[in-house]
Amino acid sequence: AYKRFSELLPKEERENACSRRVPKSHILTLPELRANPFQHRICHVFSTSEAGDDSMSFEDFLDMLSVFSDSATSDIKSHYAFRIFDFDGDGILDRRDLEQLVNCLTGQSEESRLSSMEMEQLIENILEESDIDKDGTINLSEFQHVVSRSPDFARCGGVQQ
């Protein structure tokens, strides 16, 4: 992990990699993130940058790797997946978060974008399946309940492809 982290830094900064921050643009070059539709959200959720630039310290990088590792529990994976899908950071997945989530998965091109009617139907289906207390949103425990019924979630790491 240290070797991979230090290789994301310019050569002259590699000696003290533990005290450096890797820019988000360098993190996004990792093969595991390059094609991930949630790559920007992943960087945002794992970054502790006070500057808000989504750069990562070595600790941030380790946290990210551990969550996506095979040994991470389903609870840990689902907790971070929820945070990644909670685009506005308000602790719930509302219709706006779900629309952004679907757009990330389907792409923004004309051919792949859902019509407003298709989007509305899909969001209704997601809420019907997941919104246990019927408040129109999905909270963390509702999300984890749905995920617990999906054996593929833990096996493929939640937001990994």
What are the C-alpha distances in Å from 91 to residues 30, 46, 52, 68, 150?
28, 16, 19, 21, 22
Per-residue pLDDT, 161: 40
Residue 53 identity: D
Query: Angle 74-85/39-46 helices, nearest 10 degrees?
Result: 110
The answer to whether the 1-72 and 73-160 domains have the same CATH topology is yes
Beta-carbon neighbour count of residue 77 at 10 Å?
Answer: 22
- Where are the chain's structural domains? 1-72, 73-160
Task: Output DSSP code: residue 14.
Answer: G
* Of the options 3.40.120.10, 1.20.1080.10, 1.10.238.10, 3.40.309.10, the CATH number for the domain spanning 1-72: 1.10.238.10
Q: Are 44 and 33 in contact (CB under 8 A)?
A: no
* Architecture of the structural domain at 73-160: Orthogonal Bundle (1.10)
pLDDT tens digits along 7-19: 999 999 999 999 9
pLDDT surpasses 50 at 35: yes
| Lowest pLDDT segment from 35-49, 128-142, 145-159 | 145-159
Question: Which pLDDT score is estimated for 155?
Answer: 58
- pLDDT, residue 107, reads 83
Cα→Cα distances 25→1, 39, 56, 125, 141, Å: 18, 10, 10, 36, 33
Q: How many CB atoms lie within 10 A of CB 75?
A: 12
User: What is the 8-class DSSP label of residue 11?
Assistant: G
- What pLDDT, on a 0 to 100 scale, did the predictor assign at position 160? 47
pTM of the full structure: 0.89
DSSP, collapsed to helix, strand or coil, labels residue 138 as strand
